[in-house]
Structure 1
Amino acid sequence: MQSIKAGDIVVSDFDLYEHYSVVSDEISTDGKPLLISATQRHGTVKEETWDVATQGKDTFLANKQSNLSVAEILNNARSQIDKWHYSVISSNCEHFSNWCLGLKVSSTQIVGASVGAVGGALLVKCCVKDPKPLDYLFGVVTLGFLGVSCSKAQPKLS
């Protein structure tokens, strides 16, 4: 926690997915920084305490670099509080954190899930004689989850 500073991106590991947050310059009464993130829970962006945003999950510094100043990153993040329209596919927490940093608005988790799902469908088509809808569903879901798992962020090494 000592190496984390305002404007950084942290990633909380929720097992099946990861949650990205922007570290605020505000500190809560427990001494931890607040986090700004887009959540499905709220359907928008909120600035919340560390413990509420991370829900006690393992959280680490993301390996993301920006050319923007800390003030610009935080201004970007706060400009979307109660305005950002959350969507798992097109405007999730990873899209939001990348946008705040001035990076390409994308999500490695969505790309991983999509590639995995398509790969699962193709694998079923190639390997199962006379595949049924449930065969496709199994392939899409299984390799979709594998794709998300493979896309997980790596901690930033200091």
Structure 2
Amino acid sequence: MNTLSVKPGDIVATDFGLYEHWSIVTDKLCDQGLYMLISATKRNGTVIEEPWNVVTQGKKTIVSNVSSLNTIDEMLQKARTQIGRWKYSVTDNNCEHFVTWASGAKVTSNQLASGLTGGTVGAGLVAACSENPTALKLLGGFVLGVGIGVAASKITNKSS
């Protein structure tokens, strides 16, 4: 976070390699003087408001070009209602679902949709191009396609 300028209400994405973790910058500072982030995590199984460094784990983080339909106060209030209540699920209630929900946008996950589309295309290509499309080959094509689809769905930086 050395050169990243953030403010409450910003939506940030942390690059964890294959996927991005989405969080909302809150109006609270941790004891290190950094903004807290609120997000839904598999690590906690729910929504939690945590220090910047705990969430980002030193990984590259960008301010997204995604904006909230709600005011900052409305978004933070809505997000905080789910602390300890949101049941994390990669398919139904992941970090991107949470952030889009709290921001008032259509609840969706582009990473999930792109991953499933990529997986379907990958398996379809294996089926079309292979003389003997075994279940293992189809699964391999699906997994590769999921990875490509999720990686291709990364969000863009506001400052780009």
SS in 2 for 1:149: helix
- CA RMSD in angstroms comes to 1.1
1:111-138 deviation line (CA, Å, top 9, x unaligned):
1110011001110111001211111011
What letter matches 1:22 in structure 2?
A: I
- 1:10 counterpart (9, 12, 35): 12
- 1:40 counterpart (29, 42, 45): 42
TM-score of the two chains, using structure 2 as the length reference? 0.95
Q: 1:116 corresponds to which residue?
A: 118
Give distance in 2, aligned partners of 1:134 and 1:69: 49
Q: 1:63 corresponds to which residue?
A: 65
Give distance in 2, aligned partners of 1:76 and 1:53: 20
Task: State the 1:67 CA deviation.
Answer: 2.6
Q: 1:21 corresponds to which residue?
A: 23
1:84-133 deviation line (CA, Å, top 9, x unaligned):
01000111000000111000111111011100110011101110012111
What letter matches 1:82 in structure 2?
A: G
What letter matches 1:120 in structure 2?
A: G
Of all paired residues, the percent bearing the same amino acid is 47
Give distance in 2, aligned partners of 1:2 and 1:13: 14
Task: State the 1:3 CA deviation.
Answer: 3.3
TM-score of the two chains, using structure 1 as the length reference? 0.96
Dislocated runs of 4+, deviation >2 Å: none
Q: How many pairs were matched up?
A: 158
Give distance in 2, aligned partners of 1:109 and 1:144: 9
Give distance in 1, aligned partners of 2:97 and 2:64: 14
Contact persistence 2:4–2:62 (CA under 8 A): no
